[in-house]
Structure 1
Amino acid sequence: MMFFLYNFFVALFLNECNGAPGGIFGGGGSGKRSLKEFNVDDFKYSGDPVTFACVTMEDQHGFDFFKSENGSMPTNLTEQLDNGRSLSLFFHGVGNIVSFKYGLLFGFAQEWFSESENNICVVSYAYTTKLSIGLQFISNLNKMVTTKRLEFVARLARDVVLGVRQKCLATPERQCLRHLSQVDVSGFSFGAHVAGRTCEYLEDKTGEKVRMLLALDPSKTPLFMRKPSKTIKKGHADYVQVIHTSIVGISDPIGDTDIFVKYTAESLSETFNDKHSLAFYIHVATATKRLYLLGEENGNGTLVRRGRNAEYPEPKSNECLVGIYGKRIEGNVGREFVVSLKNRTDLFQQSLDRYHNHWIFFER
């Protein structure tokens, strides 16, 4: 038992402290909606900045960084995003800080930009930009909830989207971001909770829903940590898809559609690290259209490695398209689907190619 617990916490700290995907001390508890607890628009927050690392042009050679200062909207971000394209926001794990202009993460975002034809922004929101370990790390992660930094980041992201939309509505003669159906929001681990809260705030403010909320193995909270009120639930977007890959993440079905991924880890540490990280790699593979994944009800699902710009296969009645390009199908609401990577790991890794590399989490 002691060996099990040791590996459990080692894997956790490797995930969050060193910049790999998020860990279990993140959220996902139940409770009333945050707007009934306090008015987020009256909330004042002072702390480390939030950074938006964006791709908005085909010939871009590195991330453009936009940083909030003193809780304010990042300067020039809405102008950069008001370029006629739709928008994809991605919140990564709570320990990741994007500060590296080039590299694997930028390459992924650039491919996602090209395939989706959306502007792409990766959001860094850690409680502190200083590296923390052990009890200090746990304390900082807990403060993401107790200081309501989670809500602050979600409000800031909401205001960015609304700022771009407002600029568009002021110029009716051109193509731009007019409706929240042109927005999708995704998040990995703790970032899935920030993504869900962002979608909630957008709907509360406008009465509109974003096209999709994609929650990638959303982290769950142990009993001794403060839990945020419910962040991911049906109705926060037109389509809420949740991908479950590990015991580090929430195991209960909480979306319109829930996909459970089967994968056999080779060691105990991989059970926590690799299986949790798998959700992010699935997003990388599917958002770039390097791989098409179909979840299957009571089956193993289908993996199709396809060339770029190819059309997605049409799901059958017992299937569902996995990932950010999935669409709401009324017949699939409330259903659970399975994707098995057993005996398919090589195909999955080959589709990722250079992105199957842990350094994609460490570039900072």
Structure 2
Amino acid sequence: MRLGVRHPGLKFVALTANTHAGKPMASVFPHLAMAGLPDLVANEDVNFSDIDVVFCGLPHGTSQKLVADIAQENSSLRVIDMGADFRFRNAEDYGPVYGADHVAPHLQEKAAYGLTEHNRDAIRDAQIIACPGCYPTATLLALLPLVKSGAISTDDMIIDAKSGVTGAGRAPKQNTLLAEAGESLTPYGVGVHRHAPEIEQEIGLAAGKKVAVNFTPHLIPMSRGELITAHVKLDGAKNADEARKILADAYEGEPFIRVAEKGVIPSTGHVRGSNYCVINVFDDRISGRVIVIAAIDNLVKGSAGQAIQNFNVAFGYPEATAIEALPLFP
């Protein structure tokens, strides 16, 4: 909403939040008090028949039910889903990861994976745009061009990932209390995080074979920001310079991807509050390996900014509309 209220093609006509239904937006998000937004209502109180597009930011297992219902009410309505429910290209892959069968598998064929830079053609016409998770966004932007070109091997991929506490959502949780998370770096989802199969799906698609990745996320005591460090084997590329050149060529002209100059280490501070992604490649001290580092803001390029970027692609607006802002510093 912070980004969308400045978009010339978006008008927010209904905002739903069942636990806050009946409240003005200012009482839930005071920083949006001046945005002129409608009061919050329950999902069932919205007439979806006159709405062009719905942005969903719901827990897994929730948006699939809502989308199935509103698609019956308005078959021309388009959905941009920031949740997990339509990210798997095969609906049968959803259950083993999220612990319940997909309730709307018939809609999966109408969904496109919403990694903008790598799937624009499908996004442009899809009824449902499934925005990737924040960790897959950073990881795939860093690695997909290298995998597609054969520059790196898909064997023995190790992805070390770190995110601010907003990655855990806004609901109060003990592990994200200031006294618990402050001054403490904590791995979580060790060996079982739900974003790993999503990363494997897309890397496997690019490689043309089934792949497995070693993925470990960490909670960092800061509000926002995400950084992934990928340790990978070289294949077609000889060194980090060649891999960096492949990335630079692949992303030439992309408005939000910056492949940094040699030696520049990406930092979350380079992208804070923006829709940008900064990537670089470094030679490992272990022969035949490189280290690929990428930084994004998990709430913008990792979520809401990418959703609006996908909206722009789907509805024919210049891709950077409403998300041109440079990173915040300090």
TM-score by length of 1: 0.28
Instruction: Point out which structure has higher relative CO (alpha carbons under 8 A, 6+ apart).
Output: 1
TM-score by length of 2: 0.31
